Amino acid sequence: MSEKPTAPAASRSTGGSGPVAAGSATTGSATTGSATTGSATTGSAASETSTPQKSGRRMTGVGRVLVVVYGILALAATGRSVYQIMDHFQVAPVAFTLSAFSAVIYIVATIALIAPGRTWYRVAWTTISIELAGVLIIGTLSTFAPAAIGMAAIDPFGDDSTVWSAYGAGYLFIPLVLPVLGMLWLAKHRPVASSSSTAAEA
């Protein structure tokens, strides 16, 4: 971020005003607004490659909301796992190790969503895929076979639950929904260098 302070600032101001103007012109709901900004960035990538939007920042506009929700979940997972491991690790070592693992995944995913470039884009895909797999596998195990991961009960608010227990029921099912939203976001906002090349091929 500190390497090239002028380029992101320029892309933020111009890139920010473009989609916002498009969104307020349609005055649609939040979903149509984000759809127009999404199509605007991918659609204009071919025609307006000279605009500063090519810096590849995926997290302007509604993407920032996604990042904030990811950040809060990373905070929640970290806080919970730190407490679990420090306070009563021996109660359910497998579940708490998973808890710490999920915390790390959420932290890396949050950073990967913010950081520009193709490598981080791949990291984002990887971590978000792990999240989806984690919430489905751990959700299923914790619901139907809690003993398999060393848990005493199914209670999603219980002492030995993780962010992924019971499909994230203890976190309003946000851990279940968030990877899907993240994938949709990533699919729409691939790094501009690769999207313009695919547009040229098509």
Partner 1 sequence: MVEWFTAVQVVVALLAGLLCLVVGFVGRPPNDLTLGAIVLIELLLLAQLVVTIVAPLVGNGPTGSLGEFYIYLVSALLLPIAGAFWALIERTRWSTVVLGVVGLAIAVMLYRMGQIWFVQGTP
Residues found near partner 1 in the complex (CB under 8 A)? 12, 16, 20, 23-24, 27, 29-30, 61-62, 64-65, 68-69, 71-72, 75-76, 79-80, 82-83, 86-87, 157, 172
Rounded Cα distance between 104 and 98, Å, is 10
* Residue whose CB is less far from partner 1, 15 or 56: 15
Q: Is the dihedral of CA 142, 146, 150, 153 positive or negative?
A: positive
* Residue whose CB is less far from partner 1, 71 or 150: 71
CB 103 within 8 A of CB 84: no
SS3 assignment, position 192? helix
* Residue whose CB is less far from partner 1, 55 or 126: 55
CA 170-89-68 angle, to 5 degrees, is: 40
* Residue whose CB is less far from partner 1, 104 or 155: 155
Calculate the CA dihedral of residues 37, 39, 45, 47 and round it to 10 degrees.
-110
- Name the minimum Å distance from CB 126 to partner 1: 25
- Name the minimum Å distance from CB 172 to partner 1: 7
- Name the minimum Å distance from CB 122 to partner 1: 25
Instruction: Determine how many CB atoms are found less than 10 A away from the CB of residue 27.
Output: 8
- Name the minimum Å distance from CB 163 to partner 1: 13
